[in-house]
Amino acid sequence: MTTKQVLNVTDWIVLVVDDMPDNLVVAQLALKYHGAQVFTATNGQEGLDLLQQVQPTVILLDIRMPTMDGWQMFEILRGSPETRDIPVIAVTAYAMDTDKERILAAGFDGYLAKPFNVVTFVSEIADALSSVPHSG
Amino acid sequence: MNLPALLQTNRWSISTRFLAVIAPVLVIIGILTSLWSFVGPTTQLYRQQIVDQTTQLSNLGGQKAGIFLAYKLNALREMSADSAIAAAAVASNAGYAGLSEAEATARLNEREAEWERGGALLNSVRNNPASVRLQGFLESNPGYTEVLVTDRYGGVVATSGGEQDYIDSDEAWFMEAITGVAYLSAPEPHEITGEPMIAIGLPIVSNGEIVGAIQASYAIMALADQLGVPQLRGFGIQRIIDPEGKIIVSPLPEELDQVYAPALAVMEAQGGAITEAGANLEGTGLSDNRSVVASYGAVVSEGLAPLIDAEGLVWWVEVDSSLYFGPLNQNRTSSVVSTVGAMLVLLMLVLFVARYATRDVYLLVRDVEAFAKGDLSKRVSPKGSREVQDLGTAFNGMAEQIETDFHKLQESEHLSRVQNETLIKGNRELAIARRQAEAANKLKSQFLATMSHELRTPLNAIIGYTQLQLAGMVGDLNDELRGFQERIFVNAQHLLHLINDVLDLSKIESGRLDLIERPYNLRDCIDEVFTQNRVLAENKGLKLNLKVDERLPEIVIGDRGRVKQVLINLLSNSIKFTDAGTITVETTLQDNNTWRLAVTDTGIGIPSHLQQTIFDEFRQADEGFERGGTGLGLAIVRRLVLMMDGSIRLSSEVGTGSTFAVTLPMVQTALEDAEWATNGVVEA
């Protein structure tokens, strides 16, 4: 961070789904700092509702949430042809090795453990997206 | 089937066996004994004895009869020689003196007429001294019933009494006696009494002249009585038989004067007369009858001559041997009966003895059976014979052993049952406990996972906001505020480490941490950690050295993550506790299967009293927290090393530094694995 060169992601439309507003704010600030357009939802259902209007570049999905958790929402996303191809990166406080394995095995396109590093947050997302085959 | 076979095949009692052996023997002995009594020498002996006795009896009888006859005849002869008798005859004879034969006959008839009339003649004869003498003779000579004396013409001159003819001259006895010959008639029944009588006639001699005759009637039965002839009555018979075979003396009046055929047969066999005593009865007809033993002896008496020619008289004895043998037969019967009885008694005795002998065995068997039926406390009280006692004692010893063993068995069975039950119960409890523990562990893990999640979530916000400010993403801070934000950041990081370590530790403790052993590049792993921490060390002004043993293989099999974690923890620990100097990471190949990792620092060192507990949880040295330690790093290292079958050693000196040396097992692997490891998912 000694260099002032900031990763520019102005073409990103990011949907952040997290039940904790503070975390939504932190993520939103970090993303916006890098130029991304950010939508937020506090649970899966809200996220799905939002998708009626928005076509995000990537969805940052918390796992543990009320009403509809990340697993359920992910399942619906992957079950629908319209949303199936949207990259989904889990951003969760389930930070154990087994959690990471389980999430990646389920088909998530990336995994970030909370607390995430705000400084490297966007670049890590970019790394994850770059390895998604069709997002090219 | 013979006896031994029977004895072998049948389950007979000892008594029965005794009987089976003894009974036939006894029966055979009984039969032999009975047979012996029939054909044995005893019978022959007895028969011979009877013959001998009979012979003896006949000889003695002959002698006795001779003597007795002689005695009787002598008495009569003495009487004939009596002077009064002779005088009476002489006086009567005188009346005939000078008479011619015719005149003499006339005189005799005359006198007979007078005798018949019962005149003076009769009276004078009956009362004369001679008659008195005759009456005296009768009195002193029992058996004689009548006696009379005649003159030489046959006229009666004296009489003992009774009715008599006067003239006896025509009588056979007179005619024989008057010639000087003794007369002995055959027995004839008495005219009145019918008693068998014999008549004896003797001449009366005076001065060398026959002057008359004397005649006496003798009741032959009296002779028989006096000779003891009837003594054999009921068993046999004794007779006197004359040379013509006639019976002259017999206890049976009806057979007197009868010719006795058996005697005649003997006489004929001996050439006309019985001259020998003996029992040779062949041809007598008696010999056919086995029940009769007969014998005869000659009636011999010198004294009889010349009055009686006793020659040819025999004493004949017949004994009904059947009557003699009767008792013998009875004897025999009784002997058979007694033999059989004795056999029975013997058998019973045998039985009794056998029972007696085996009674102890029976008692023993009874007790043994009681034992066999399960009464293990049963003991026999061996009594009786030594063998039985020995057997009983032996059995008791055996029973004692069996009972002891049985009780031991029961005890051990009981024990093993109890143990089994305890074991089952214990297993059940263990299973329950394990399930509970597993449940508890699961709950614990779940709790930890949740806890970790719930702690990380606010930490994310804290660290996030702090980083946003520190990174200048949300505006500028003055130096003081920046300082505060940095402190917030450091503390939040510390909290985060703490959470991670606690999580790791609890996973290790609950056994939920599984080693994932795969081939990996050990050198790369070490380099990676070294590189990551070099910045940290250099930021503190420390020199970080890496010494890698050239022999150390690149590719090994193991849990890369855990090895890395051990190295990170040790290295960061050293960096934390070292303020100046050098930190050296050194790897060494110890042998083909072991490698050593040593992290040496020039830090504050660990006092010796803490070295033992430094690996315990939350046991970091005093300054630990201030230096950012969680107090769990070394504990995790030690546990991981132990999990990987390695060991860890600490040498340290306060103020000089510390060396943490880890020795880990190592499995080298082939190149293909290495390539797979390099290209595979392991690096993820």
Task: Examine residue A97 and state whether it is found in any structural domain, yes or no.
Answer: yes
From residue B131, how far is each of B83, B139, B333, B634 by CA, in Å? Answer: 12, 12, 63, 186
Task: Examine residue A30 and state whether it is found in any structural domain, yes or no.
Answer: yes
CB B76 within 8 A of CB B299: no
CA atoms of A76 and B115, how far apart (whole Å): 201
Task: Examine residue B249 and state whether it is found in any structural domain, yes or no.
Answer: yes
- Cβ separation of A115 and B463 shorter than 8 Å? yes
CATH code (residue A51) = 3.40.50.2300
Examine the domain organization and report whether B459 and B598 are in the same domain: no
SS3 B658: strand
Q: Is the dihedral of CA A105, A108, A109, A115 positive or negative?
A: negative
Of B454, B468, B496, nearest to A26 by CB-CB distance is B468
pLDDT band at B39 (very low <50, low <70, confident <90, very high): low
CA nearest neighbour of B200 among B126, B148, B274 = B148
Task: Work out how many domains chain B is built from and give that number.
Answer: 3
Task: Examine residue B182 and state whether it is found in any structural domain, yes or no.
Answer: yes
Distance from CA of A113 to the nearest CA of B (A): 9
Examine the domain organization and report whether B502 and B518 are in the same domain: no
Domain end (from B512, B543, B577)? B512
Task: Examine residue A38 and state whether it is found in any structural domain, yes or no.
Answer: yes
Higher pLDDT, B546 or B120: B546
pLDDT of residue A3: 46
Task: Examine residue B19 and state whether it is found in any structural domain, yes or no.
Answer: no
Task: Examine residue A93 and state whether it is found in any structural domain, yes or no.
Answer: yes
Examine the domain organization and report whether B312 and B192 are in the same domain: yes
Examine the domain organization and report whether B184 and B275 are in the same domain: yes
From residue B434, how far is each of A67, B204, B355, B439, B593 by CA, in Å? Answer: 36, 165, 73, 8, 36
CB B564 within 8 A of CB B540: no
pLDDT of residue A81: 92
User: Would strands A13-17 and A37-41 be described as parallel, antiparallel, or unpaired?
Assistant: parallel
pLDDT band at B683 (very low <50, low <70, confident <90, very high): very low
Residue B519, pLDDT above cutoff 70: yes
CA atoms of B505 and B444, how far apart (whole Å): 12
Q: Is the dihedral of CA B600, B606, B607, B609 positive or negative?
A: negative
> Could you read off the pLDDT of B559-604 as tens digits, one per residue?
888 898 899 889 988 888 888 899 999 999 888 889 999 999 998 8
Higher pLDDT, B680 or A28: A28
Task: Examine residue B349 and state whether it is found in any structural domain, yes or no.
Answer: no
Residue type, B677: A
Residues 20-59 of A with CB under 8 A from B: 20, 22-23, 25-27, 29-30, 33
CB B544 within 8 A of CB B530: yes
Range of the domain at A65: 13-130
CB A60 within 8 A of CB A108: no
Task: Examine residue A8 and state whether it is found in any structural domain, yes or no.
Answer: no
pLDDT of residue B425: 83
Task: Examine residue B527 and state whether it is found in any structural domain, yes or no.
Answer: yes
Residues from chain A that touch B489, judged by Cβ atoms under 8 A, are none
Residue B342, H or E segment: helix B321-372
Residues from chain B that touch A92, judged by Cβ atoms under 8 A, are 453
pLDDT band at B681 (very low <50, low <70, confident <90, very high): very low
CA nearest neighbour of B168 among B187, B181, B144, B151 = B151
Task: Examine residue B79 and state whether it is found in any structural domain, yes or no.
Answer: yes
Task: Examine residue B361 and state whether it is found in any structural domain, yes or no.
Answer: no
CA atoms of A65 and A45, how far apart (whole Å): 10
Residues sharing a CB contact under 8 Å with residue B69, sequence separation 6 or more, in sequence order: B223, B299, B301, B304, B308, B310
Of B456, B465, B492, nearest to A26 by CB-CB distance is B465
Residues sharing a CB contact under 8 Å with residue B98, sequence separation 6 or more, in sequence order: none
Question: Does the beta carbon of A64 lie under 8 angstroms from any beta carbon of chain B?
Answer: yes
> Could you read off the pLDDT of B227-280 as tens digits, one per residue?
766 666 566 777 777 777 788 777 777 777 788 877 777 777 766 655 555 555
Examine the domain organization and report whether B535 and B504 are in the same domain: no
Domain end (from B455, B484, B512)? B512
Examine the domain organization and report whether B62 and B207 are in the same domain: yes
Q: Dihedral, CA atoms, B427, B432, B434, B436, nearest 10 degrees?
A: -170
Examine the domain organization and report whether B548 and B478 are in the same domain: no
Task: Work out how many domains chain A is built from and give that number.
Answer: 1
Residue B481, pLDDT above cutoff 70: yes
CA atoms of A74 and A58, how far apart (whole Å): 12
For testing contact with chain A, the best of B467, B470, B535 (most A CBs within 10 A): B467
- Report the percent of chain B where pLDDT is more than 70: 83
CATH code (residue B95) = 3.30.450.20
pLDDT band at B41 (very low <50, low <70, confident <90, very high): low
Question: Does the beta carbon of A11 lie under 8 angstroms from any beta carbon of chain B?
Answer: no
Mapping DSSP onto H, E and C, the string for B263-328 reads HHHHHHHCCCCCCCCECCCCCCCCCCCCCEEEEEEECCCHHHCCCCCCCCCEEEEEEEHHHHHHHH
Structure tokens at B105: 């006959």
pLDDT of residue B679: 45
Higher pLDDT, B515 or A31: A31
CB B68 within 8 A of CB B227: yes
Examine the domain organization and report whether B567 and B602 are in the same domain: yes
CA atoms of B620 and B615, how far apart (whole Å): 8
Lowest-pLDDT choice from B71-75, B106-110, B299-303, B510-514: B299-303
Radius of gyration of chain A (CA): 14
Examine the domain organization and report whether B653 and B670 are in the same domain: yes
Residue B607, pLDDT above cutoff 80: yes
Examine the domain organization and report whether B568 and B451 are in the same domain: no
Nearest CA in chain B to A93: B453
Residues sharing a CB contact under 8 Å with residue B90, sequence separation 6 or more, in sequence order: B206, B211
CATH code (residue B679) = 3.30.565.10
pLDDT of residue B288: 45
pLDDT band at B624 (very low <50, low <70, confident <90, very high): low
CA atoms of B141 and B157, how far apart (whole Å): 21
Residue B281, pLDDT above cutoff 60: no
Range of the domain at B81: 49-322
- Give me the count of residues in chain B: 684
| Mean pLDDT along residues B532-557 | 87
Domain end (from B285, B301, B322)? B322
- Cβ separation of B465 and A22 shorter than 8 Å? yes
SS3 B629: coil
DSSP state of B653: E
Structure tokens at B86: 């002779």
Structure tokens at B581: 């100097």
ipTM of this complex:
0.91
Residues from chain B that touch A97, judged by Cβ atoms under 8 A, are 561
> Could you read off the pLDDT of B15-25 as tens digits, one per residue?
777 777 777 78
Task: Examine residue A82 and state whether it is found in any structural domain, yes or no.
Answer: yes
Q: Which residues of chain A have pLDDT under 50?
A: 1-3, 135-136
From residue A40, how far is each of A57, B403, B411 by CA, in Å? Answer: 13, 90, 78
> Could you read off the pLDDT of B440-463 as tens digits, one per residue?
877 877 887 888 888 899 999 999
- Give me the count of residues in chain A: 136
Residues from chain A that touch B464, judged by Cβ atoms under 8 A, are 22-23, 26-27, 30, 115-116, 118
CA atoms of B334 and B338, how far apart (whole Å): 6
> B229-243, B401-415, B670-684 — which one is most confidently predicted on average?
B401-415
Strands (E), chain A: 13-17, 37-41, 58-61, 88-92, 110-113
Task: Examine residue B329 and state whether it is found in any structural domain, yes or no.
Answer: no
Compute the half-sphere exposure of residue B383: CA atoms within 13 Å on the CB side of its CA. 7
Task: Examine residue A2 and state whether it is found in any structural domain, yes or no.
Answer: no
pLDDT of residue B618: 66
Distance from CA of B515 to the nearest CA of A (A): 12
Name the packing angle between helices B41-80 and B220-227 (round to 10°). Answer: 130
Residues from chain B that touch A33, judged by Cβ atoms under 8 A, are 468, 473-474
CA atoms of B175 and A53, how far apart (whole Å): 210
Examine the domain organization and report whether B606 and B557 are in the same domain: yes
Examine the domain organization and report whether B86 and B219 are in the same domain: yes
Residues from chain B that touch A22, judged by Cβ atoms under 8 A, are 458, 461, 464-465
CA nearest neighbour of B197 among B172, B217, B167, B223 = B217
Task: Examine residue A7 and state whether it is found in any structural domain, yes or no.
Answer: no
| Mean pLDDT along residues B134-144 | 87
pLDDT of residue B65: 73
CA nearest neighbour of B537 among B490, B486, B584, B488 = B584
